[in-house]
Amino acid sequence: MITEILVFISTTIVFYALYTYKKGHYYFQSRGLKYIQGVPLFGNTLRSTFGGHHMIYDIDQVYKAFPNEKYVGYMEGTKPHVLVRDPALIRQLTVKDFDHFLDHKSFFTDQIFMDSLFMMKGDRWRHMRATLSPAFTGSKMKQMVPFMNEISLNIVDYLKEKEGETINVDDIIRRYSNDVIASTAFGIQVNSLRDPDNEFYRTGQAVMTFTLYQKLKLVFMTMFPGLMKHADIFPQSATEFFKRIVSETMEYREKNNIERPDMIQLLMEAKKGTLKAQGEDKLDKIGFATTEDVEVKPQSEKSDWTQDELAAQAFLFFAAGFESAASAIALAIHELAINPAVQSRLYDEVKQTHDKHGRVNYEVIQGMKYLDCVFSETLRKWSPAIVMDRVCVRPYTLPPASEGAKPVKVNVGDVLYNVVNSLQLDPQYYPDPLKFDPDRFSDERKHEIQPTTYVPFGNGPRNCIASRFAILEAKVLMFHLILNFEVLKTEKTLDPIVLRAGDFSIKVKGGSYVQCRARK
């Protein structure tokens, strides 16, 4: 009996694999799209699925295979996607014709994630985006710099004790990110270097460090999206933690008339409808990578936000800050270790700025041009975005993919992947793209950057709402780190950098190891 069941299951999987394989390829063939033949069940993602390399390299292989095409076919597991590789077309799809591609693809189905700004769809998303946009203006971010300064100095004190030792930057930066978010979002003081097992950090690890079981779930969600549409990924204890923290903190502040310039306060104002836009000002531009504000106009009336919906925004802010921002900062420090000439120039600017102003504030950070060049170049080489996924919500016709080809109809529900990393590493747009060259973003050269070839925080109305926060968080720490230490390459420092396989996030294979030597 068991043998018959196993044979039936195996046969069903084989037939399903062949069916989806042929169906996906027919999708491309019927539209005249060029594509690389994938593997049944895995499509073009076989190597990244089994830890052969990072998923970026799967996408880049397809991107490079057809240099004359504006878009091509890409099979992610059993699902056919359109991989858009032309910068002008990407801009058209994400800005001008945004209303046709309003939504993100659903991949995690946990309710707290589905309730977040990132996964909200249609007019519900428009309302939340319009509600939260005033929370991320330069004026609001300015108020968070003192918290970032305080936590950065905790990092400096810790590293002074570790002078001469080889340290894992990944671990330290994630603890910094954790503490910044705990303070600036939730008003909770945490020092994760002194209290390494605090609840905030443990929760962050539980959310962002996937177990083998979770990774298998993700593989099956890619292969069998219909069967796995109700499978949760994040531990229930983690999601309940955020709901409890948001609810209890709001209740306590309302009861005791407490106000603090952090995310909880902004969410409380959003719930009451008192969070208002202040108009664009000179504080809104914190760096070259800052996303543009795009006005989003809801098309219907919206009732008050629920407590769970507000908790979901806090969860998203924590998850994105804990992982994406931390990855970018860690890679910036790794690049400084293997590019000492760049680090030396950055130190000169940091030292001059410190001698003139002392501890940094928002306006001082804005004026540090080379620091901005360094972090902008880090985001070019190692953007956490990978692709800008968009789901078609209104029928659309793409222009011909190449000369002589026919226009392609995109149906409701079809998924487009607008590439990010592959464009930013294309020698057509960035000569010697693997070289870490911050001067690409200098006043003299940044005009050479073609529109939509640099979008580390996305593009159009659905760009990253918290780009200012992420850039600010990185720059404040880098200021204090480079002021106090020379970051040195060690035998364990990977050069050149290769990304770790088996992760959505951007991390260095084997870890980012450096040594910090105190400056005299």
Average pLDDT over residues 111-118: 89
411-468 pLDDT, tens digit each: 999 999 999 999 999 999 999 999 999 999 999 999 999 999 999 999 999 999 999 9
Where residue 77 falls (left for φ over 0; alpha for ψ -120 to 50; beta otherwise) is left
**pLDDT score at 406:** 96
More confident residue, 183 or 370: 370
The candidate with the shortest Cα–Cα distance to 170, out of 178, 160, 161, is 178
387-421 pLDDT, tens digit each: 999 999 999 999 999 999 999 999 999 999 999 99
Decide if 208 is inside a domain: yes
CA dihedral (464, 468, 469, 470) in degrees, to 10, reads: 70
Task: Please enumerate in sequence order all residues whose Cβ is within 8 A of that of 388, keeping only pairs 6 or more positions apart, or say none.
Answer: 90, 94, 417, 418, 420, 455, 458, 459, 462
Q: Mean of the per-residue pLDDT values for the chain? A: 88
Decide if 470 is inside a domain: no
Contact assessment for residue 371 and residue 478, using Cβ atoms and an 8 Å cutoff: yes
CA 225 to chain centre: 23
Question: Using CA atoms, how far apart are residues 250 and 240, in angstroms rounded to an integer?
Answer: 15
Question: Using CA atoms, how far apart are residues 97 and 99, in angstroms rounded to an integer?
Answer: 6
Look at residue 178 and give its three-state secondary structure.
Answer: helix
Number of Cβ within a 10 Å radius of residue 428: 11
Question: Using CA atoms, how far apart are residues 254 and 448, in angstroms rounded to an integer?
Answer: 51
Decide if 420 is inside a domain: no
326-336 pLDDT, tens digit each: 999 999 999 99
**pLDDT score at 364:** 96
Contact assessment for residue 413 and residue 425, using Cβ atoms and an 8 Å cutoff: no
The candidate with the shortest Cα–Cα distance to 90, out of 423, 418, 420, 449, is 418
Question: Using CA atoms, how far apart are residues 346 and 485, in angstroms rounded to an integer?
Answer: 12
Decide if 160 is inside a domain: yes
Q: Is the pLDDT of residue 231 over 70?
A: no
Residue type, 31: R
Helix 169-186 vs helix 326-338: angle between axes, to the nearest 10 degrees?
A: 140
Question: Using CA atoms, how far apart are residues 281 and 410, in angstroms rounded to an integer?
Answer: 39
Average pLDDT over residues 259-265: 82
Decide if 301 is inside a domain: no
Decide if 174 is inside a domain: yes
Question: Using CA atoms, how far apart are residues 506 and 326, in angstroms rounded to an integer?
Answer: 9
* Structure-token pair, residue 520: 């005299």
Q: What is the CATH number of the domain that holds 219?
A: 1.10.630.10
Dihedral pair phi/psi, residue 443, rounded to 5°: -60, -30
**pLDDT score at 247:** 87
Burial (CB < 10 A; 0-12, 13-18, 19+), residue 120, is buried
Look at residue 267 and give its three-state secondary structure.
Answer: helix
The C-alpha angle with vertex 50 and arms to 49 and 53, in degrees rounded to 5, equals 80
**pLDDT score at 268:** 84
Question: Using CA atoms, how far apart are residues 335 and 339, in angstroms rounded to an integer?
Answer: 6
Least confident of 16-25, 107-116, 182-191: 16-25
* Structure-token pair, residue 425: 């590493």
Q: What is the tally of structural domains in the chain? A: 1
Which of the four pLDDT bands, split at 50, 70 and 90, describes residue 106? confident
122-165 pLDDT, tens digit each: 999 998 898 888 888 888 889 899 999 999 999 999 999 999 89
Question: Using CA atoms, how far apart are residues 488 and 344, in angstroms rounded to an integer?
Answer: 12
Domain hosting residue 170, numbered range: 120-280+321-361+487-520
Question: Using CA atoms, how far apart are residues 492 and 472, in angstroms rounded to an integer?
Answer: 29
Report whether 464 belongs to an annotated binding site. yes
Question: Largest Cα–Cα distance of the chain, in whole Å?
Answer: 81
Dihedral pair phi/psi, residue 109, rounded to 5°: -105, 5
* Structure-token pair, residue 210: 């996937």
| Polymer length in residues for the chain | 520
**pLDDT score at 455:** 97
Decide if 162 is inside a domain: yes
In this structure, are strands 408-410 and 396-398 parallel, antiparallel, or unpaired? antiparallel
Decide if 4 is inside a domain: no
Peptide bond into 496 cis (omega under 30): yes
Residue 396 parent element (H or E): strand 396-398
The candidate with the shortest Cα–Cα distance to 101, out of 518, 494, 462, is 462
Question: Using CA atoms, how far apart are residues 443 and 315, in angstroms rounded to an integer?
Answer: 37
179-217 pLDDT, tens digit each: 998 888 888 888 999 998 888 888 877 777 666 656 666
Percent of all residues in the chain with a pLDDT value above 90, rounded to a whole number: 57
